[in-house]
Amino acid sequence: MAIDFTAQIYELTEWKPRRKDLLKPFPGKFFRGPINTSTRVCELGELNGTVATLYEFFFQDTAARRVMVVLSRASAEPLLESEARGVLGQFVGPTQKEPVSRVFWARGSLEQNKQSASGFLRESGSLTENDFEHYGRLCVASDARGAAVIDTTVNALPPGERAERLAALCALAFAYRSVLDDVIDLLAVAGRNPRISPEQQLRAWSQFMSSYYFHEPIKLATIELARFYGAVRERHKISNLAQEVTDQLRLLAELVRLDRSEAQAKREKSMQRWIGCLGLMIAVFGATLTAAQVTPKVVSDAFSQWSQCNMKVGLLTCLNGGYKETASSDLQASPSKPVNQQKKMPTRH
């Protein structure tokens, strides 16, 4: 019996890198392309044989960005949570940290190692042989608190990078779960909170799901890792969470469509009322003109008076009442015609 690798995985909230913390492109090639390019890695350091590696997932998406740290130890002495938290505090200070998963890898028989795996994952002896799936010579158990692998291959070599990859994919799985849990809550209130734009939420999370979420984020060429991820995904219902998000997005899109239809119907109704009022005004105006027996001469005189007003005081003044004043002054200024006097008849002499 030999414990080769144990790890504690934490999610960090509002992590601020130190000056010496350098985020680099993810060097692994086992994730799908969009996951590889949207993941950065930072080697925080090593303390007392414990290595701290930080993974920044979905860093190109501000709302979905998740920071996970894997603290691992390649030793027969398992890394306990209390010890891991103390080491992590040396690297990230008071940053909020939440334990999300654990990883255990050992060589030997299942009977010899199941108790050690159960003690590390559950802190009890309740894990049984029936909790392990068999993939060739590998026995894999995915538990609520982590994953355990027991390599029963005769004279098996230490896992080395295989165990580190298992820890990285567990970190991705819990980054997915963290994002999906938040999205479910956000979409639940987006349709009824006036301060939240449903269109914005719909676009943002539809973009995330289409760009970064994959049922199989592990390249299928890496069969061992794909099996590991499948076990973790099924145990933590990540596919179910993704389906719920997809259903919510579909319902929210329908709600947005209904809101737009109602708004369009209100605009059309308002426009119809406006057109009806305008038609009524035109009809009344036409009837008034007919009743007043407007002749071409009246129209011509009115046009002439407006033109004169515009030339004298300007159009704006005319619109403000200058038209009437100008017309009145013109009438006062015009000389009145003399009254016809009766002709005097010539007197006869």
End-to-end CA separation in angstroms for the chain: 167
Q: How far apart are CA 138 and CA 156, in angstroms?
A: 11
Predicted local distance difference test score (pLDDT) of residue 336: 52
Q: Where are the beta strands (DSSP E) in 109-203?
A: 133-135, 138-143, 146-151
Helix H or strand E encompassing 192: none
10-residue averages of pLDDT along the chain (349 residues): 90 94 94 96 95 97 96 95 95 95 96 94 92 94 95 92 96 97 91 74 92 94 92 95 94 77 62 65 65 61 70 67 56 52 52
Predicted local distance difference test score (pLDDT) of residue 226: 93
What burial class does residue 42 get, using C-beta atoms within 10 Å of its C-beta: 0-12 exposed, 13-18 middle, 19+ buried?
A: buried
Query: What count of residues does the chain have?
Result: 349
What does the domain layout of the chain look like in residue ranges?
2-243
- Count CA atoms closer than 13 A to 199's CA, side-chain side: 5
pTM value is 0.74
Q: How far apart are CA 284 and CA 263, in angstroms?
A: 32
The dihedral formed by the CA atoms of 135, 139, 140 and 143, expressed in degrees to the nearest 10:
150
- Count CA atoms closer than 13 A to 218's CA, side-chain side: 22
Predicted local distance difference test score (pLDDT) of residue 274: 65
DSSP letter for 340, please.
P
Predicted local distance difference test score (pLDDT) of residue 255: 82
- Residues 333, 337, 339, 341, CA torsion sign: positive
